[in-house]
Amino acid sequence: MTDRLRKHLRPVGLVLVMMGALAPLTAQTAPPVLTVSVASSLADVMDRVVTAWRARGGGAVALNAAGSQVLARQIVQGAPVDVFFSADAAQMKVAAASGRLVEGSVRVLLTNRLVVIVPATAGPARLRPADLTMPRVRRVALGQPDSVPAGVYARQWLEAQGVWQGVAPKVVPVLTARAALAAVAAGRADAGLVFATDALASAEVRVAYEVPAAETPGIAYPVAVVRTARAAEGQRFVDFLQSAEARTLFEAAGFGVRTP
């Protein structure tokens, strides 16, 4: 082989060696593995639940975290998902309408509460719903009010309180709870509306108001098994989610657990 050719092949060879070295390191496991779609707000706690599941001898699990609306759409379009854990009953309905869920497998597992957050250092001690319409509250961060579940719930609650008209012009619509937390932590949104569980994730925000259980719109986290080849394993996983061990983990993260 000529020298010139060799010179050109050397960088190609280097890349191939790198790929060979990296491949075994990637955590991508080959199927069969249980694919579990979880809403973003469940991602952290489900990491811990899966660890407990594995410790108990459970099989490999791949968590697919995104907004519930994204996950529902994926299932409708035929994505190879085995279990769907949604943050929103409406999105579960969307998934169910596709006909891909195992009959009767939908179960409401968790509940959550809405809270009003403010910057930890600068915010007021307490902020009631009516206060949100005050001029000193210039911007309120909450999820997209017509797609992100947290945003949908927030809007429902504000409407029920009769303050939505006053708050709507100040809304900064965000895609995830993280974005809402970041906006409030930076002090650029004077208040935000997120789930109680999300508020725990940041030390730079403080809860200024907890929406009482009576007023909270029905924030339910339903879970269902999708009709795939791994449905049996999926059902076993869902059963584990209702175990005492899983319950402890959920409650520690701030969720309410529905007893069956």
Q: Return residues touching another protein (CB under 8 A).
A: 67, 69-70, 119, 121-122, 139, 141, 144, 146-148, 171-175, 179, 182-183, 185-189
Which of 65, 59, 71, 62 has its CA nearest to residue 26? Answer: 62
Comparing CB distances to another protein, the nearer of 82 and 198 is: 198
- Whole-number minimum distance, CB 165 to another protein, in Å? 16
Comparing CB distances to another protein, the nearer of 190 and 233 is: 190
Comparing CB distances to another protein, the nearer of 35 and 176 is: 176
Point out which residues pair with 64 in neighbouring strands.
37
- Whole-number minimum distance, CB 3 to another protein, in Å? 25
Which of 87, 85, 112 has its CA nearest to residue 200? Answer: 112
Comparing CB distances to another protein, the nearer of 119 and 256 is: 119
Beta sheet of 171-174, edge-to-edge order: 171-174, 140-143, 191-195, 114-119, 205-210
**Burial profile 138-159: b = 16 or more Cβ within 10 angstroms, e = fewer:** eebbbbbbebbbbbbbbbbbbe
CA distance 21 to 131: 58
CA distance 58 to 51: 9
219: its two tokens: 């924030």
> Helix (H) and strand (E) counts for the chain?
10, 11
Residue type present at position 160: A
Comparing CB distances to another protein, the nearer of 100 and 139 is: 139
Comparing CB distances to another protein, the nearer of 146 and 215 is: 146
Which of 200, 211, 147 has its CA nearest to residue 173? Answer: 147
Residues in the chain, total: 260
Comparing CB distances to another protein, the nearer of 140 and 225 is: 140
- Whole-number minimum distance, CB 146 to another protein, in Å? 4
Which of 37, 39, 38, 44 has its CA nearest to residue 200? Answer: 44
- Whole-number minimum distance, CB 43 to another protein, in Å? 15
Upper half-sphere CA count for residue 188 (Cβ side, 13 Å): 7
- Whole-number minimum distance, CB 121 to another protein, in Å? 7
- Whole-number minimum distance, CB 70 to another protein, in Å? 8
- Whole-number minimum distance, CB 160 to another protein, in Å? 21
